[in-house]
Amino acid sequence: MRPDVTRLKPFLDAVYDRFHTEESLACDPLSFPRQYRDPIDREAAAVIASAFAFGRVAAFMPVIDKVLSRLGESPGQALAEGNRALFREVADGVIYRFATPPNVEALLSGTAALLRRDGSLEPSVMSGFAAGGTVNGLLSLADALRSSGDGDPGFLVPVGNPDSPMKRLCMLLRWMVRRDGIDLGIWKGLRPSDLLFPLDVHVFRISGLLGLGPAGQNNAPRMKDAIALTRQLAELDQEDPVRYDFALSHLGISGTCRGSAGPNCADCPLVTVCGARVACD
Ligand code: SF4
């Protein structure tokens, strides 16, 4: 039986009101591109910040800060005008989980090559999107980043598996396409309705607790799950189906939700519609 998504709207709106805020932004990788004014700097910072956005927020924020600080006041310009020696210098000693300095160097050189060639990464998305929709646009961007740089960016850029939810690239697209007090809205080729939900394991679990997918989902999400969740949430807002992404992410980032019943459930806006509520009571 199809879940009645519309009954969730007031509860999701309450999550949005609480977490879709400047305060949440302070502990989100999106805070890095927002520090710049020029669109090319915002875009360069967004690519770097989203690439490192895996694992614990507190662990990856200083890494992003280190890379961007080394690129100076104008990371977009620094990349576009930079050479291999600069990328090596910036990447020197940057190790974060699966990412090594050569991976960082490859990410920087790939981004730089696309900025030099097209002035933006948007054309790489749009060429794939025009040929086959949003998933194809994401694959096209991943391929362009991987094939344009020197070396292998490793885990920093997805390998282009259409089964993968490509969470960080979906999030980058959200930042670049949606426009509000949070997202940047620099790219104009896609509409917010073209976006796919950036689905990680935490949001996947919460969506399952809300009946927006299989219950008790402990597996890693796949692209088909991101598409299914996006379609369900499009029933609430066809023009902006990923509207709740930032807020739902911060339900987890803030420590309010750990994906199962816990002491914070009583204060959670979703408690009356969450599958964990029996255990919470
Ligand atoms: S009620 Fe508890 S388990 Fe459910 S979403 Fe809220 S914090 Fe998470």
Q: What does the domain layout of the chain look like in residue ranges?
A: 1-27+197-281, 29-191
pTM given for the model: 0.96
- Asked whether 158 and 142 are in contact (CB, 8 A), the reply is yes
pLDDT band at 79 (very low <50, low <70, confident <90, very high): very high
Query: Reduced to 3 states, what is the DSSP secondary structure of residue 96?
Result: strand
Instruction: Quote the tokens at residue 137.
Output: 């646009």
- Asked whether 156 and 87 are in contact (CB, 8 A), the reply is no
Residue 195 Cα, ligand 1 centroid: separation in angstroms? 26
Residue 1 confidence (pLDDT): 59
- Number of C-alpha atoms within 13 angstroms, CB side, residue 254? 21
Nearest CA to 274 out of 201, 230, 225, 212 is that of: 212
Which tens digit of pLDDT belongs to each residue from 103-162? 999 999 999 999 999 999 999 999 999 999 999 999 999 999 999 999 999 999 999 888
Nearest C-alpha to atom 1 of ligand 1 is from which residue? 271
Instruction: Quote the tokens at residue 267.
Output: 């204060």
Residue 161 confidence (pLDDT): 87
Residue 228 confidence (pLDDT): 95
CA angle 223, 229, 233 (to 5 degrees): 145
CATH fit for domain 1-27+197-281, picks 1.25.40, 1.10.10, 1.10.1670, 1.10.287: 1.10.1670
- Asked whether 77 and 41 are in contact (CB, 8 A), the reply is yes
Q: What is the mean pLDDT of residues 203-223?
A: 83
Which tens digit of pLDDT belongs to each residue from 7-31? 999 999 999 999 999 999 999 999 9
φ, ψ for residue 259, nearest 5 deg: 90, 0
Atom index in ligand 1 nearest the CA of residue 264 equals 7
Residue 20 Cα, ligand 1 centroid: separation in angstroms? 17
For helices 122-148 and 167-177, angle between their N-to-C axes, nearest 10 degrees: 140
Q: What is the mean pLDDT of residues 204-223?
A: 82
On the question of pLDDT at 4 being above 60, the answer is yes
φ, ψ for residue 184, nearest 5 deg: -90, -35
225: left (phi over 0), alpha (psi -120 to 50) or beta: alpha
Residue 281 confidence (pLDDT): 52
Residue 165 Cα, ligand 1 centroid: separation in angstroms? 23
- Asked whether 185 and 252 are in contact (CB, 8 A), the reply is no
Residue 279 confidence (pLDDT): 53
Mean pLDDT taken over the chain = 94
Q: What is the mean pLDDT of residues 237-249?
A: 98
**268 CB within 6 A, ligand 1:** yes
On the question of pLDDT at 218 being above 90, the answer is no
**171 CB within 6 A, ligand 1:** no
